[in-house]
Amino acid sequence: MADQPALTESPGTSRNAPSDGGFPVKGVPVIHSVNWIGLKTLYMKEVRRFFKVQTQTIWAPAITTLLFLVIFSVALGRGGREVLGVNFATFVAPGLIVMGMMQNAFANASFSFLSGKMQGTIVDFLMPPISEGELMLAMVGAAITRAVLVGLALYGAMLLWPGVDLSLAHPWAVVWFGLMGAMFLSTLGLLSSIWADKFDHNAAITNFIIAPLSLLSGTFYVIDNLAPAFQSISRANPFFYIISGFRFGFLGQSDIGDTNMAVFHSAVGLGAVNLGLAIITYLVLRSGWKLKS
């Protein structure tokens, strides 16, 4: 083979330049920052997954949550009962909307990883050239998208219910607490799917933690009616601030505190909690715990 010419680089050729076949030089990274194509692809894959069965993932949860409004407004809203200066149906509607959003954000985020581990397809999430942050962003973004769609479906349906007034007093609070609530539950759902080894584990989290915390967080009542000890317990529940802050966006009133500044402080605190939870989730994904081992 000595008669073959030696491979040499021309003076103007860069080591990072593609080879003659159009492929990059071996060992040279192609993606230098955020893999936007991979991020968008995974996000669209997750959105299309739940949207393909939208009767189950969007409309059925919306109808189920709407039944709460029908039952409680009929059972407790008779006789002109008012809460925070509005009729009972108007009071309870915003809490039901954000409760439906949060529960479906958790359900969406907690399904993909767990089903991948159960079916042996988790490698489809781990092998593509996307970082742990991009993976988390795509999964959480898809869960928030489902939550928003469920919230819009509920909002439209509740507008048709007699006596419900869903005019916006503070739109920023509706947007902020709605998105932060969906992000909070979607991040928890992602952590749950990493930890769980079977669907029973995930169902236990939903039935014994998520559902009680959301139902016992002031969705159907104001915590001022509770005993002082139970008021303290309610104020330790992050679901309380999400639901009360979201309701503040519609009614302009809240049982978080006597001033609008208390709601603002709750909004900042909720953002800080979500940031901390996102960092924890990222570190768990990066460690590969129960995913790569």
Which residue in this structure is represented by tokens 């080879």? Answer: 19
Give the per-residue pLDDT at 201.
92
* Residues ≥6 apart with Cβ < 8 Å to 171: 249
Buried b (16+ CB within 10 A) or exposed e, 33-72: eebeebbeebbeebbebbeeeeeebbeebbeebbebbeeb
User: How far apart, in whole angstroms, are the C-alpha atoms of residue 140 and residue 152?
Assistant: 18
User: How far apart, in whole angstroms, are the C-alpha atoms of residue 102 and residue 114?
Assistant: 19
Q: Where are the domains of the chain?
A: 36-287
Band the pLDDT of 72: cuts 50, 70, 90: confident
Triad 114, 37, 107: Cα angle to 5°? 25
Give the per-residue pLDDT at 267.
95
Give 206-230 as a DSSP string.
IIIIIHHHHHTSSSSS-GGGS-HHH
Token digits for 32?
């230098």
Band the pLDDT of 10: cuts 50, 70, 90: very low
Whose CA is closest to 126, among 252, 14, 136, 267? Answer: 136
* Residues ≥6 apart with Cβ < 8 Å to 146: 47, 50, 57, 58, 104, 105, 108
Provide the 10 A C-beta neighbour count for residue 273: 16
Give the per-residue pLDDT at 14.
46
Whose CA is closest to 142, among 52, 65, 40? Answer: 40
- Region of poorest pLDDT, from 76-80, 110-114, 173-177, 217-221: 76-80
Three-state SS at 287: helix
Token digits for 55?
């009767």
| Phi and psi angles of residue 104, each rounded to the nearest 5 degrees, phi first | -80, -30
* Residues ≥6 apart with Cβ < 8 Å to 75: none
What is the value of pTM for the model shown?
0.86
pLDDT at residue 20 tops 70: no
Q: Are 256 and 266 in contact (CB under 8 A)?
A: yes
Average of pLDDT values for 8-15?
A: 46
User: How far apart, in whole angstroms, are the C-alpha atoms of residue 285 and residue 293?
Assistant: 12
Chain segment 124-172, per-residue pLDDT in tens: 888 888 999 999 999 999 999 999 999 999 999 998 888 889 999 999 9
Give the per-residue pLDDT at 1.
46
